[in-house]
Amino acid sequence: MLILSIMENNQLPKGGEFLLRKTKAENVFIPEEFDEEQQMIVQTCEDFLEAEVYPNLERIDEKEPGLMQKLLKKAGELGLLGISVPEEYEGFDQSFITSMKFNEAMGSAASYSVAMMAHTGIGTLPILYYGTEEQKAKYIPKLATGELLAAYCLTEPDAGSDANSGKTKAVLSEDGKHYIINGQKMWITNGGFADVQTVFAKIDNDRVLSAFIIEKKWDGVIINPEEKKMGIKGSSTVQIFYNDVKVPVENLLGKRGEGFRIALNILHIGRIKLGATVIGSAKRTINQSVNYANERKQFTQAISNFPIIKYKLAEQVIKTYTTESSVYRASKDIETTIEQYLKDGMSKGEANIKGVAQFAVECALLKVYGSETLDYVVDEAVQIHGGMGYSSELPIDRSYRDSRINRIFEGTNEINRLLIVDTALKRSMKGEIDLFAQAKQVVYELNKSAEHQFELKSYFETKHNNIENFKKAILLILGNGQEKFKRKFAFEQEIWMNIADMIIPLYAAESTLLRVEKLEMIQEKNEITDNDDLKLAKDILNVFVYDCADTIYKAGADAINSFCVGKEQQLMIKALGNFTKVAPVNTKLARRNIADKLIEENKYKF
């Protein structure tokens, strides 16, 4: 019988290895563990948004000239643009987990959030992590204080998901002092006002990109008018043309030909940070949903009393809670890895880049899961508001329109789903994780017996058994798919999408299980007898695992049916059914409990 190995306390986690290992609850970080200093940073963010941003959302959406820049610079004065920047460059030098909490706190600020995240993330981090000491000394302090604002220029008209196909060219000048850059970039966030741009181009006839630091004020930098967009209307989005722009050779960022790797690694960071950002937006939208449901009366009572509305409210909470559990679990693993790399002698920039890149699978799945969670939350918020949700008189229409871009940002969700499977398979082929060996073991067990019985002793043992079986279901499909198609497996995108749709809820379910288990440990340690919060957390976990079983079964069955026939198909479908069996759950009662808590508090407090 396959028993997944347990991650020991002193064992460095590896990206994607959650498919093969059990994780102990005491080894994860949960949101209930944020300390006083981290909560103070959150409070500073919330105070800033309440005072400066929320009252001005309409003006921001109308792109009032200079307003976005002014608000970004105000955030810089408070130190909010330098959360991840080392102190020697005028920053706060906070941990990775703290920076993620900061992203969550700022995530509810609509278009302003997009501008700030672009500046502090993909705008600043390439220079911080790949820049020379001279480059960092010149640009980073001013980016941290808001004196300079930043943009990231990768996408081109014919180079979107296939970023390395970009045609922007850089040619060394005859005197060897400048690169002459010509080309076009599009969908550039902050592009209308950013002083500093990280621009990707190919030097001469190179096959891969290089990266350059370009200043807006230089001759030949031509900025087009603002794009008209469905949502995030207050975010500056433009095309930028580079016509014989002379870039000093010292402004080459990183090494020649390193640009594509820089772009990918910065996108890994952007993906997991987006996963945190959408949590803030989801929580604010849930608050607006329950506030309206408690105020709106129909048939002589508040609509929050109606079970159908309670279902919607509860599902909003469940999806947000599971997203939050997943994001901070992964953030802890990344932070632990970064700290170990620093101990091993890496520079801060290299440790951060490699620490996040190690968890490319988790970054991609959190981007997908988080963006689709927010899309669900805002969609149901419109429905709860009814006709008023479709009116621009209330802020829900902005939330609905603004959410849609998140499934496209940082690589489309389709690309990220493929990336989840591709990265896991490549890691296994390189011997970094033992995916294929464990997949073969699942198949071996399947041939011996398709059914396993376990003597379960406790609530958490039962749930861990469910998770272990979900992992076996995924390994079953992965192993058989790889064996069937071999090198042609990469062309079976539908099957890869099925596998991704099994992996994503599996990670969320296990992360939520570990959070609830650790929460119980904390309450027992502190001798807390009022366990209402724990009971609700278990309601969330029960419903989610129950629903995950169906999700994983459906995606797995679709995959099996696409490459198996006859007795093999029957055997695999039977095994999949066994691996996705879970105990019955009274989901109606559990969701009502969750909704009643939300309705009573009139605010998300989970």
Helix (H) or strand (E) holding 222: strand 221-223
Tell me which amino acid residue 237 is: T
**Least confident window among 2-6, 125-129, 169-173:** 2-6
Of 415, 431, 460, the position where a domain reaches its end is 415
Same domain? For 48 and 120 the reply is yes
Same domain? For 180 and 311 the reply is no
Residue 21 lies in a domain: no
User: What residues have CB less than 8 Å from 20, skipping those under 6 apart?
Assistant: 4, 5, 433, 434, 435, 438, 471
Task: Output the pLDDT for position 450.
Answer: 45
pLDDT tens across 542-560, in order? 999 999 999 999 999 999 9
pLDDT of 293 strictly over 50: yes
Same domain? For 265 and 404 the reply is yes
**Overall average pLDDT of the 296-309 stretch:** 96
Task: Output the pLDDT for position 592.
Answer: 98
Confidence of residue 448 (pLDDT cuts 50, 70, 90): low
Residue 129 lies in a domain: yes
Task: Output the pLDDT for position 162.
Answer: 82
Task: Output the pLDDT for position 157.
Answer: 92
Closest CA to 331 of 26, 8, 30: 30
Same domain? For 333 and 455 the reply is no
**Overall average pLDDT of the 396-407 stretch:** 96
**Overall average pLDDT of the 575-593 stretch:** 96
CATH number at residue 198: 2.40.110.10
Same domain? For 455 and 592 the reply is yes
pLDDT tens across 479-496, in order? 899 989 999 999 999 999
Same domain? For 390 and 427 the reply is no
Task: Output the pLDDT for position 374.
Answer: 98
pLDDT tens across 88-100, in order? 999 999 999 999 9
**Least confident window among 255-264, 270-279, 441-450:** 441-450
Task: Output the pLDDT for position 107.
Answer: 95
The three-class DSSP label of residue 533 is helix
Same domain? For 460 and 407 the reply is no
Task: Output the pLDDT for position 300.
Answer: 93
Residue 202 lies in a domain: yes
In order of 37, 223, 328, 451, 512, the CA distances from 332 in angstroms are: 17, 40, 6, 36, 14
Residue 14 lies in a domain: no
Q: Cα(478)–Cα(481) distance, rounded to whole angstroms?
A: 5
Of 362, 388, 415, the position where a domain reaches its end is 415
pLDDT tens across 525-543, in order? 887 777 788 999 999 999 9
pLDDT of 2 strictly over 50: no
pLDDT tens across 65-83, in order? 999 999 999 999 999 999 9
Q: Cα(2)–Cα(526) distance, rounded to whole angstroms?
A: 36
Q: Cα(102)–Cα(38) distance, rounded to whole angstroms?
A: 9
Same domain? For 442 and 560 the reply is yes
Confidence of residue 407 (pLDDT cuts 50, 70, 90): very high
Range of the domain at 197: 151-257
Residue 27 lies in a domain: no
Task: Output the pLDDT for position 428.
Answer: 87
What values do phi and psi take at 506, rounded to 5?
-60, -50
Residue 606 lies in a domain: no
Same domain? For 203 and 114 the reply is no
Task: Output the pLDDT for position 3.
Answer: 43
Q: How far is CA 79 from the centre of its chain?
A: 24
Which of the residues are catalytic?
Answer: 410
Domain count within the chain:
4
Of 149, 167, 189, the position where a domain reaches its end is 149
pLDDT tens across 351-388, in order? 999 999 999 999 999 999 999 999 999 999 999 999 99
Mean pLDDT of the chain: 93
Confidence of residue 5 (pLDDT cuts 50, 70, 90): low
pLDDT tens across 186-239, in order? 999 999 999 999 999 999 989 999 999 999 999 999 999 999 999 999 999 999
Task: Output the pLDDT for position 562.
Answer: 95
